[in-house]
Amino acid sequence: MACQQKRAAITGVDDEFKALTQTAGLLDFSDRSRLCLLGEDRTRFLNGQVTNDINSLSENTGCYAALINAKGKMESDLFIYKLADEILLDFEPGLTQAVKERLENYIITEDVEIVDAAPHFGLLSVQGPESEKALKELGLTQPENKLNVAKEPGGEYVINQPRLGTSGFDLFITVDELENWKSQLVQHAQRCCEDSFEKARILATIPRYGQDLTGSNLPPEGGLESRAISYAKGCYIGQEIIARLRTYGQVTKALRGLKLKGPAAVGDAVVFEDKEVGTLTSVTSKPDVALAILKRTAYEPGTVLHIDTKNGRITAQVATLPFEIFAF
């Protein structure tokens, strides 16, 4: 019975993965953290806290950014949306209090209030090449540009958010309407679990904060430069470190996608020329693929590595750069 259940779970993940990458899949991301910034000084204040340019955002547009400390180390990554009367932050689960406290520590005389939006709004996401079709069949707006926002007459927010690098939309929906919208969306997009999303994420070499990137990493180590960092904006916490990296040299380690010759697990050591050069941070199977932060000596594409697993040593090869889809 246990084997049958395991096979059924694997089959389910594979079917959902196909939906996310070939048609359309529905995910409930309501466990993600969500904060709103209110007050007259919210834009100017946040611009001085994150790596991307918030001042340049027009109403109902967004950007991706990192929140870093004075040493340039990451405290979170953030999707940031400038709405009519507030700024919405969407980020990894479990970080609400830490991010809220981090921001509030720098509020001195500014007119800024930070509010937890998660108790009031859920988050559903439709991902895959046919996600636009799914929304269209329900009469929902599909914002044309990435990270643009549309507000529906019923109060729902629809965001062009391709979380897996292809096509996708996030829907911020009031908690009392969440199940109603979920039941409608599932008629046009296959319900998917986190395991299937993780498989698609890993195969697109998309780093996740808290798993592939942590408080010990600089944003460029995850390949976030072109997506989350503005080198033309004004001052922000940690800017000097990020600017110095760009001016004087490369990072000493970086995220890479690896093709594996067998199964492995998160935490397994990556070895190059008999020296440990990193550990696996995300792993999936069928195909066997992993993400890892590797030292510079071993991160060039094509480099042959070894992975020390619980069942012995296997071979691996550096296959992808950050945000690059694996080819098979």
Token reading at 158: 């629809």
Instruction: Report the percentage of the chain scoring pLDDT > 70.
Output: 97
What's the CATH code of the domain at 290? Answer: 2.40.30.110
Residue in this structure with the two tokens 């988050």, named with its chain if needed = 123
Is 57 part of a structural domain of the chain? no
What's the CATH code of the domain at 127? Answer: 3.30.1360.120
If you average pLDDT over residues 256-264, what whole number do you get?
Answer: 98
Q: What is the pLDDT of residue 7?
A: 35
Q: What is the pLDDT of residues 133-148, one digit of tens each?
A: 999 999 999 999 999 9
pLDDT for 162 beyond 60: yes
Compute the distance between CA of residue 92 and CA of residue 208 in angstroms, rounded to an integer.
8
Q: What is the pLDDT of residues 111-123, one digit of tens each?
A: 999 999 999 999 9
Q: What is the pLDDT of residue 8?
A: 41
CB-based contact 16:192 (threshold 8 Å): yes
pLDDT for 2 beyond 70: no
Residue in this structure with the two tokens 């611009």, named with its chain if needed = 47
What value, to the nearest 5°, has the Cα angle with vertex 85 and ends 81 and 86? 40
Q: Are residues 195 and 230 in the same domain?
A: no
Q: What is the pLDDT of residue 11?
A: 57
Is 254 part of a structural domain of the chain? yes
Is 185 part of a structural domain of the chain? yes
Is 177 part of a structural domain of the chain? yes
If you average pLDDT over residues 157-186, what whole number do you get?
Answer: 97
Lowest mean pLDDT segment, chosen from 139-153, 236-250, 262-276? 236-250
Q: What is the pLDDT of residues 189-205, one digit of tens each?
A: 999 999 999 999 999 99
- Domain boundary residue among 155, 171, 203? 203
Ramachandran angles phi, psi of 26, nearest 5° = -105, 130
Q: Are residues 166 and 227 in the same domain?
A: no
pLDDT for 6 beyond 60: no
Question: pTM to 2 decimals?
Answer: 0.94
Is 68 part of a structural domain of the chain? no
What burial class does residue 312 get, using C-beta atoms within 10 Å of its C-beta: 0-12 exposed, 13-18 middle, 19+ buried?
A: exposed
Q: Are residues 141 and 250 in the same domain?
A: no
* Number of domains the chain is built from: 2
Enter the DSSP assignment of 56: T
Q: What is the pLDDT of residues 57-99, one digit of tens each?
A: 999 999 999 999 999 999 999 999 999 999 999 999 999 999 9
Q: What is the pLDDT of residues 206-215, one digit of tens each?
A: 999 999 999 9
Q: What is the pLDDT of residue 234?
A: 87
Q: Give start and end residues of each alpha helix (H) in the chain.
A: 2-22, 42-47, 96-104, 131-137, 178-185, 194-203, 225-228, 239-248
Compute the distance between CA of residue 283 and CA of residue 262 in angstroms, rounded to an integer.
11
What value, to the nearest 5°, has the Cα angle with vertex 42 and ends 41 and 45? 80
Question: Among 201, 279, 258, 212, which residue's Cα sits nearest to residue 13?
Answer: 201
Token reading at 93: 């689960």
Question: Among 30, 325, 79, which residue's Cα sits nearest to residue 209?
Answer: 79
Q: Are residues 228 and 278 in the same domain?
A: yes
Provide the domain limits for residue 130: 2-30+120-203
Strand duo 25-28 + 190-191: pairing: parallel
Q: What is the pLDDT of residues 31-54, one digit of tens each?
A: 999 999 999 999 999 999 999 999
Q: What is the pLDDT of residue 22?
A: 97
| Phi-psi category of residue 96: left, alpha or beta, with phi > 0 → left and psi -120 to 50 → alpha | alpha
Q: Mean pLDDT score of the chain, rounded to an integer?
A: 95
What burial class does residue 294 get, using C-beta atoms within 10 Å of its C-beta: 0-12 exposed, 13-18 middle, 19+ buried?
A: buried
